[in-house]
Amino acid sequence: VTNTEPARYSAIFLDRDGTLNRKAPEGEYVLTWDAFEVLPGTYEALRILDAVSDQIFVVTNQRGVARELMSQEDLDDIHTRFRAEATSQGVKALRIYVCPHDLDAGCKCRKPQPGLLEEARRDHPSVRFETSVVIGDSLSDVEVGKAVGTLTVLVGEQQGDADASFPTLLEAAHWLEDRRR
Ligand SMILES: [Mg+2]
Ligand SMILES: [Zn+2]
C-alpha cells in the first residue's frame, strides 16, 4: 500500500455488477430492476462508506446498451430505483457513471480505461484520486484504480494484485473504516 491513510477518503468508486448486485451469467446482462439483485450487506456497506468518504460514485460498464439488449431508459430506470432504495436505506448520495459503449467503440470510458473516473472528477473537482479508493470484483477495476492512483480493493472470488481483497463489500467497508488515520 503506497497511499497514506487519510482521515477521510476523498471518493469511493464502486463497480456495480458483482460488487453491489449479483452479476448476470457470462454473456448476459441485468436488463430490468426485477433482475437487479442487490447483494446481502450492500446497503450497510454503503452507509459505512458514506460515513468515511466525501463522495461515492458507481462506475460501470454496461455494453448491453450498445448491443441494444436494453435502452438507455431501461438502464436509467434501474439506476433511479437503486438510488431511491439506497436513499431510503440511509445512504446519502450515490452518483452513477456509465460506459454504454461496446468493446470496439474506441471510447475512453470503458474500464479499465479511466474515463468514467476522470468525468466524475471533472464534475466534482474536490475529488483527489490519491486519497480515493476503487472497489470492484474484476481485474479491470484494479487496473483503473492503479491507472489514476487510488487505493484498490477487490471483492469476491477473483484474485489479483489489489491493495486488499475481501469476500464481500461489507468486509471491505469495515477494513476501509478501520484503516483510517
Ligand atoms: Mg463487476
Ligand atoms: Zn465508453
Per-residue model confidence as pLDDT tens digits over 131-176: 999 999 999 999 999 999 999 999 999 999 999 999 999 999 999 9
- 127-165 burial string, b = 16+ CB within 10 Å, else e? bebebbbbbbbbbbbbbbbbbbebbbbbbbeeeeebbbb
Ligand 1 midpoint to CA 68 (Å): 20
Say which ligand is closest to the CA of 99. 2
Partnered with residue 100 across adjacent β-strands are none
Please compute the mean of the pLDDT values over residues 13-28 and round it to a whole number. Answer: 95
Ligand 2 midpoint to CA 181 (Å): 36
Partnered with residue 170 across adjacent β-strands are none
HSE at residue 33, side-chain half, CA atoms within 13 A, is 12
Whether residue 36 is predicted with pLDDT greater than 90 in this model: the reply is: yes
152 closest CA partner among 140, 167, 130, 135: 135
Whether residue 181 is predicted with pLDDT greater than 80 in this model: the reply is: no
For residue 93, what pLDDT is reported?
Answer: 81
Ligand 2 midpoint to CA 132 (Å): 22
60 closest CA partner among 106, 94, 86: 94
Whether residue 39 is predicted with pLDDT greater than 90 in this model: the reply is: yes
For residue 4, what pLDDT is reported?
Answer: 58
HSE at residue 17, side-chain half, CA atoms within 13 A, is 22
Cβ–Cβ < 8 Å for 98, 75: yes
Please compute the mean of the pLDDT values over residues 93-107 and round it to a whole number. Answer: 95
Among residues 17, 74, 137, 163, which one is catalytic? 17
Q: Containing H/E element for 42?
A: helix 42-52
38 closest CA partner among 74, 77, 83: 83
Cβ–Cβ < 8 Å for 74, 31: yes
For residue 114, whether the previous peptide bond is cis, meaning omega lies within 30 degrees of 0, is no
Q: Is 17 a catalytic residue?
A: yes
Whether residue 92 is predicted with pLDDT greater than 90 in this model: the reply is: no
Cβ–Cβ < 8 Å for 146, 129: no
Say which ligand is closest to the CA of 139. 1
Whether residue 3 is predicted with pLDDT greater than 90 in this model: the reply is: no
Cα–Cα distance, 74 to 5 (Å, whole number): 39
Q: Which residue has the cell 474506441?
A: 106
Cβ–Cβ < 8 Å for 48, 174: yes
10 confidence band (pLDDT: 50, 70, 90): very high
Cβ–Cβ < 8 Å for 150, 129: yes
Whether residue 118 is predicted with pLDDT greater than 70 in this model: the reply is: yes
